[in-house]
Amino acid sequence: MSDKKDIKSMPFELLTTELAERGYPKFRASQLYRWMHKDLVDSYEEMTNLPKKMKEELQTAYDFTKIRMIDRQISQLDGTQKFLFAMPDNSLVESVFMKYKFGNSVCISSQVGCRMGCRFCASTLDGLSRNLLPAEMLEQIYAIHRITGEKISHVVVMGTGEPLDNYDNLVTFLHMLTDENGQNLSMRNITVSTCGIVPRIYDLAKEDLSITLALSLHAPTDEKRRQIMPIAETYSIRELMDACRYYFDTTGRRITFEYSLIANVNDTEEEARDLWTLAKSVGAHINLIPVNPVKERGYQQPQMTAVRAFKEKLEKQGINVSIRRVLGRDIDGACGQLRHRHLTEDGSVD
């Protein structure tokens, strides 16, 4: 990575200040921001209303993040598209485009790799390389829009990486994605998923954003959670629930518990009971995810009948439960698998 600041990672106010220091009026910042974040051009040449001298100056002074598509898989079953992108330093990152009745959604990555070590997850198999810049997160959405021609209405930060482990860049990204000078996405259409970094949940609550926070819970007891998620060694479920309650009380936004059902690991009667007790205690909605098989971990996907039975047990207790649709079953399924396959096959990109 170069030492220069990245111009596409600057929120509008910062861009305005930077340009003012170079003697440019505010309307130039508006024009530039619009080209980058609304019109989604990926070169200065296309910014036809900016003076040539200004473009040359900016080109020399700043980095301008561009990403390249390396692979694209399209599901023949449901139209889900999985993308592998190379960042400017050739780091590989996955993103997914999904069509729903309510609109088009993109799932983006927030880090190159991940250091959280969740046992059911392929994204962490190669460890963490680095954090993604705000522009590198934005560009995954922009590139998918450019490639598919489809408008993106919803964004989930649930791909590779732990978003709260890249906190400052995540918050900048959220502000930029919802900026009225750019994509102007509604905060309510954005979901951020965390494995549960407790102090950061408190920080996020104080940011006053109306995003949805999804907590990857996956087990309702400390003992079981520690077996599948190393983060549970640091924060207990009690601490997590206190943070969730604070988040809900501060933002008024209901938390979602993500619960990957793993056959014979976390799907007993007792676990269903413990799970609904936790959900009731913080008023959470539960999203059940039939786990994608990860060959390296030996995890099996449960039968759909078992998933439905688990759901009914929770619903009988008045809990709001959904089952995540398994999309793109015919393409490299689990998050991180496409990237992992490219890394293990080759280890580099040209």
The residues that touch ligand SF4, with contacts defined as CB under 6 A, are: 114, 116-118, 121, 123-124, 160-162, 195, 216
How far apart (Å, rounded) are the C-alpha atoms in residues 108 and 161?
Answer: 9
CB of 169 to ligand SF4, least distance (A): 16
The minimum distance between CB 333 and ligand SF4, in angstroms, equals: 14
Closest distance of CB 294 from ligand SF4, Å: 10
| DSSP code, position 63 | B
Q: Which is nearer to ligand SF4, 65 or 166 (CB)?
A: 166
**Residues in a beta bridge with 255:** none
Residue 104 Cα distances to 154, 216, 289, angstroms: 6, 23, 20
Smallest gap, in angstroms, from Cβ of residue 162 to ligand SF4?
A: 4
162 is annotated as an active-site residue:
no
When the beta carbons of 81 and 194 are compared against ligand SF4, the nearer one is 194
Count CB-CB contacts under 10 A for residue 321: 20
- Smallest gap from residue 114 Cβ to ligand SF4 (A): 3
Task: Compare residues 141 and 158 and give the one whose CB is closer to ligand SF4.
Answer: 158
Tokens for 128? 């963490």
9 close to 172: Cβ distance less than 8 angstroms: yes
- 36 or 261: whose CB is closer to ligand SF4? 261
Closer by beta carbon to ligand SF4, 123 or else 178 = 123
Position 53: which residue type? K
Nearer to ligand SF4, 8 or 225 (CB): 225
> Smallest distance from the beta carbon of 212 to ligand SF4, in angstroms?
16
**Beta strands 92-100 and 128-131, pairing class:** unpaired
User: Is the four-CA dihedral 153, 326, 310, 293 of positive or negative sign?
Assistant: negative
Element of type H or E holding 112: strand 111-113
Complete DSSP assignment for 241-263: HHHHHHHHHHH-PPPEEEEEE-T
Told to judge if 335 belongs to the known catalytic residues of this protein, a careful annotator would answer: yes
Which candidate in 18, 94, 136, 271 is catalytic? 94
Distances in Å between the Cα of 324 and the Cα atoms of 36, 121, 282, 291 are 34, 16, 21, 10
Q: Which of 107, 118, 121, 335 is catalytic?
A: 335
Q: Which run of H or E residues covers position 82?
A: strand 81-86
d(CA 327, CA 281): 31
State the catalytic residues: 94, 335
